[in-house]
Amino acid sequence: MTTMTPNTTTTATMPGGADETGQTTPRGRPRSQKAHKAVLDAAAELLLDQGLTAVSMDAVAKRAGVSKATIYRWWPTKETLALDALYTEWDTTPTHPRDTGSLRGDLLALLRPWARRAGTRPYARVIAALLTEVHTDPAFAAEYRQRVVEPRREQARTVLHRAIDRGEIPADTNIEVALDLLYGPLYHRLLHGHAPLGDRFVKEVIDMALRGTQPPADASHKHTDNPRRTRSR
């Protein structure tokens, strides 16, 4: 039984989103979407300005202007919220990598923007903190790989498979190892900070990795004979 307050009217919603007057009610939750974005923006600001320890539900709720209950409805822990905020911050790369006509050009178009963006904010500190959780929480580790690691690797897989179709690299190229050769050095510099993660380094990594994926030279050009055996006796 519903208790009515004075001067309060109700409108029954009909199937299909129409009310009793025949008006169609808007679908979706614009307020929820606005709150969702506000929470992610607040979490990203705290995460990048002060680090993972600053991303408490209280601090995010205060900055976003929402209740903690609203936040917990979407994110069970501050780590999952931070992960989502990081993913949203970095989710700017096109789903389909550019086709420049060559593997080297495709890789430069894919990896240079990533490296440049990584250097604009303290992402290294954020990723390092999240990796601590990755090695202590298997469930979070799976989510981290799905949201942060796999999207980047999948884009590079597309580029490498495209190169195989062009005949630039052998069809039996170990794609997963090639991905590690490309991304490994970039993350190494990002996390350790021992040297700049700039355009020149990205180019050098790509060139060195490509040399490792080239087919072996023809056996006829290899010096396989023992020089001692070819001497006149």
pLDDT tens-digit map of 176-223: 999 999 999 999 999 999 999 999 999 999 999 999 877 665 544 444
CA dihedral 98, 103, 105, 107 (to 10 degrees): 70
CB 83 within 8 A of CB 130: yes
**CA distances (Å), origin 45, targets 34, 70, 76, 82:** 17, 18, 19, 10
pLDDT average, residue stretch 106-119: 92
pLDDT over 90, % of the chain:
63
Query: 10 or 136: which carries more pLDDT confidence?
Result: 136
Is the pLDDT at 136 greater than 70? The verdict is yes
Amino acid 119: pLDDT: 83
The band of 107, judged by pLDDT with boundaries at 50, 70 and 90, is very high
Amino acid 100: pLDDT: 96
Amino acid 120: pLDDT: 86
Furthest CA-CA distance within the chain: 118
The Cα 43–Cα 63 span in angstroms is: 9
Is the pLDDT at 10 greater than 90? The verdict is no
pLDDT average, residue stretch 128-133: 93
The band of 96, judged by pLDDT with boundaries at 50, 70 and 90, is confident
Is the pLDDT at 5 greater than 50? The verdict is no
Is the pLDDT at 233 greater than 90? The verdict is no
Is the pLDDT at 152 greater than 70? The verdict is yes
CB 175 within 8 A of CB 169: no
Q: What residues contact 120, with CB distance under 8 A and at least 6 apart?
A: none
Q: Which range is least confidently modeled, 1-5, 59-63, 164-168, 183-187? A: 1-5
Query: 26 or 162: which carries more pLDDT confidence?
Result: 162
- Per-residue pLDDT tens over the stretch 54-89: 899 999 999 999 999 999 999 999 999 999 998 888
Amino acid 94: pLDDT: 58
Q: What is the pTM of this model?
A: 0.73
SS3 content of the chain, % helix, strand, coil (to 5): 65, 0, 35
| CA angle centred on 204, ends 126 and 92, rounded to 5° | 40
Is the pLDDT at 41 greater than 50? The verdict is yes
The Cα 140–Cα 133 span in angstroms is: 7
